[in-house]
Amino acid sequence: MTSEWWRTAAIYQIYPRSFADANGDGMGDLAGITSRLGDLQELGIDAIWLSPFFTSPQRDAGYDVADYCDVDPRFGTLADFDAMLAEAHARGIRVIIDLVPNHSSDRHEWFQAALAAAPGSAERARYLFRDGLGPDGDVPPNNWESVFGGPAWTRVTEADGTPGQWYLHLFDSSQPDFDWTNEEVREEFRRILRFWLDRGVDGFRVDVAHGLVKAEGLPDWTPPADAGSMGGAGGTGASGVTLEPEISDEPGDHAPYWGQDGVHEIYRDWRAVLDEYPGERILAAEAWVDPLPRVAKWVRPDEMHQAFNFAYLETPWDAAALRTVIDASLEAFGDVGAPSTWVLSNHDVVRHATRLSVTEANPQGHGLGPESKGLPSFEAGLRRARAATALMLALPGSAYVYQGEELGLPEVIHLPDDARQDPTWFRTGGERYGRDGCRVPLPWEADAPNYGFGPAGDPWLPQPDEWRELARDRQRGVPGSTLSMYRLALGLRREHALGAGTLEWLPGFDDAVVAFRNGSVVVVANTGASPVELPAGDVLLASGDLEGRTLPTDTTVWLRA
Ligand code: GLC
């Protein structure tokens, strides 16, 4: 196995609920993943990251874990997991799983024990229980708000039936936050890491890796009005309308629950656990903090290996902004000896085939729906998304691809209200649509029931009729299809070792053009309105049709240098 594979890897995110359904219950499962690994091998990715498949009441689509060391029956069994892992490894695909350490489900046995136990007990000390304020204790302990809307505290009823203490939940009320100052919590997560490392996983994507430690005394705090839902990324968050990315040396967000210094000690401890195992197992941080030099703290040499580059994800399709964020990323991660990562879509954001062309502000997590304004046509959105992907996959470092983007799937706007499941939708009384629109089950075969997602039964979110034409079998082997472009780009990326390359900006282009050389490949992306003359060189890849030697708007080309 190649050394330090994670520095250059193309990692494909599987959202198990929506990938492939083997048993026909309308929800994807591990056996479904196993059956489709050949398609991913053909696509040319190096690793997969699986969103949670652990035992869970699914109040937040599995990010509410009731048992960290077992598989939810909806997704299969531990034996199904082992079979999936073995098949992936046999195909040369590494497997990263999701670890959710900030909070458990309220159905976790520890939280159930905490509810049954008295205030001040050891059971309650694993979570953040506090007395309420005011004479009757009916005012929450502080003013923090849940990322999903509403207060971050819920009051419990004590065993004797009286109104009792409050517990903290930065997300849904079904997701109580652990108290990471408690050694028992720390020891439990070392055990969980070892459980999965022993089974052979190649690493962990660490959920809310900026949230575990809260400032002492849990002081009040009011987020700035323009923060996205994760409250930490700053800016307008994935709006597609900000032309300057939020890159500065000023610390961005000082929320007393995001990015506290104490989190780093936890990751150093975990790194030591991973390093006991052979084969370069990795930690990848979901840390929504800014600016980039602050994110880079998560990937110092004795901490994690990778951190998601949300500054890149949040950058609009604008050449100046892209150059700035690429430079800032390479510099910030380079300063600590880590690779930069790149990502355009995941299960929490509006799919980039829509997002990059939306003209109205749309903070992360708010989602899009029938009442949203400034939505692009399918064709315009896809054209820009393909150009953005072709640019991203040529950058040095590691790139993340979210399931379905290789088919050009747009955000699903017209989901019926009663189909929506994101807690954001419920906690804001429908004011924010939430994230369901990027989570709709994949189309595999145009002419099969559910487009081949599963053998029968309604998928857990309805698939739009227009997706028939986007089904994988309609695109496989078709020159110019989005799937073919991804496959070509991933193949060339590997062949030319672009992940391990060095970026050199090319001068002499219009301001609206991003142009660079990465080793033997020259990349030119036109974000402007007018066509641009191409430099010399054979065309290796084009994200859209070229007009002779000119590069139309919203198109990216790779040339042999
Ligand atoms: C992360 C996950 C998101 C989840 C949240 C709470 O941001 O990516 O899907 O809702 O954490 O666990």
DSSP structure string for 250-262: S-----TTSS-TT
Residue type, 383: R
Q: Identify the pLDDT of residue 228.
A: 57
Which pLDDT tens digits describe the chain residue by residue (561 residues)?
Answer: 458 999 999 999 999 999 999 999 999 999 999 999 999 999 999 999 999 999 999 999 999 999 999 999 999 999 999 999 999 999 999 999 999 999 999 999 999 999 999 999 999 999 999 999 999 999 999 999 999 999 999 999 998 999 999 999 999 999 999 999 999 999 999 999 999 999 999 999 999 999 999 999 999 998 877 665 554 433 333 333 333 344 444 444 689 999 999 999 999 999 999 999 999 999 999 999 999 999 999 999 999 999 999 999 999 999 999 999 999 999 999 999 999 999 999 999 999 999 999 999 999 999 999 999 999 999 999 999 999 999 999 999 999 999 999 999 999 999 999 999 999 999 999 999 999 999 999 999 999 999 999 998 899 999 999 999 999 999 999 999 999 999 999 999 999 999 999 999 999 999 999 999 999 999 999 999 999 999 999 999 999 999 899 999 999 999 999
Whether ligand 1 lies within 6 angstroms of the CB of 207 is answered as yes
113-152 pLDDT tens trace? 999 999 999 999 999 999 999 999 999 999 999 999 999 9
The answer to whether 367 and 426 are in contact (CB under 8 A) is no
Q: Identify the pLDDT of residue 456.
A: 84
Q: In the 8-state DSSP scheme, what is residue 158?
A: P
Tokens of 558: 């790779």
Q: How far is CA 184 from the centre of its chain?
A: 29
Query: Rg of the chain's alpha carbons, rounded to an integer?
Result: 23
Closest to 491 in 3D by CA, of 44, 47, 5, 6:
44
Q: 307: which strand partners?
A: 285
**Cβ neighbours of residue 162 closer than 8 Å, sequence gap 6 or more:** none
Whether ligand 1 lies within 6 angstroms of the CB of 60 is answered as yes
Whether ligand 1 lies within 6 angstroms of the CB of 436 is answered as no
Determine the residue of 60, 212, 230 to mutate for testing ligand 1's pocket, defined as the one with the most ligand atoms within 8 A of the Cβ atom. 60
Instruction: Give DSSP secondary structure letters for 201-226.
Output: --EEEETTTT-S---TT-------TT
Q: 98: which strand partners?
A: 205
The answer to whether 271 and 303 are in contact (CB under 8 A) is yes
* Average confidence score pLDDT of the chain: 94
Tell me the catalytic residues.
207, 276
Q: Identify the pLDDT of residue 227.
A: 60
495-543 pLDDT tens trace? 999 999 999 999 999 999 999 999 999 999 999 999 999 999 999 999 9
Sign of CA dihedral 288, 293, 294, 300: positive
Whether ligand 1 lies within 6 angstroms of the CB of 80 is answered as no
Residue ranges of domains in the chain, CATH in brackets: 5-104+182-475 (3.20.20.80), 109-168 (3.90.400.10), 502-560 (2.60.40.1180)
CA-nearest residue, atom 7 of ligand 1: 208
CA separation, residue 188 to residues 168, 196, 413 (Å): 20, 13, 41
Rounded to the nearest angstrom, the distance between the alpha carbon of 513 and the centre of ligand 1 is: 35
Whether ligand 1 lies within 6 angstroms of the CB of 171 is answered as yes
Query: Exposure pattern of 121-140 as b/e (b: 16+ CB <10 Å)?
Result: eebbbbbbbbebeeeebeeb
CA separation, residue 376 to residues 372, 384, 428, 514 (Å): 11, 10, 26, 23
Whether ligand 1 lies within 6 angstroms of the CB of 348 is answered as yes
Q: 3-class DSSP state for residue 471?
A: coil
Rounded to the nearest angstrom, the distance between the alpha carbon of 505 and the centre of ligand 1 is: 36
Atom number in ligand 1 closest to CA 423:
10
Rounded to the nearest angstrom, the distance between the alpha carbon of 146 and the centre of ligand 1 is: 12
Instruction: Give DSSP secondary structure letters for 539-560.
Output: EEEESS--BTTEE-TTEEEEEE
Beta 129-130 vs 282-285: how paired, if at all?
unpaired
List strands edge to edge, sheet with 513-518.
503-505, 513-518, 521-526, 555-560, 539-542
Task: Report the distance separating Cα 306 and Cα 107, nearest Å.
Answer: 31
CA-nearest residue, atom 6 of ligand 1: 63
Beta 203-206 vs 163-168: how paired, if at all?
unpaired
Count Cβ atoms below 10 Å from residue 213 Cβ, excluding itself. 21
Q: 3-class DSSP state for residue 435?
A: coil
Q: Identify the pLDDT of residue 253.
A: 63
Count Cβ atoms below 10 Å from residue 428 Cβ, excluding itself. 18
Q: How far is CA 312 from the centre of its chain?
A: 12
Atom number in ligand 1 closest to CA 60:
10
Determine the residue of 17, 96, 207, 349 to mutate for testing ligand 1's pocket, defined as the one with the most ligand atoms within 8 A of the Cβ atom. 207
Atom number in ligand 1 closest to CA 103:
12
Whether ligand 1 lies within 6 angstroms of the CB of 318 is answered as no
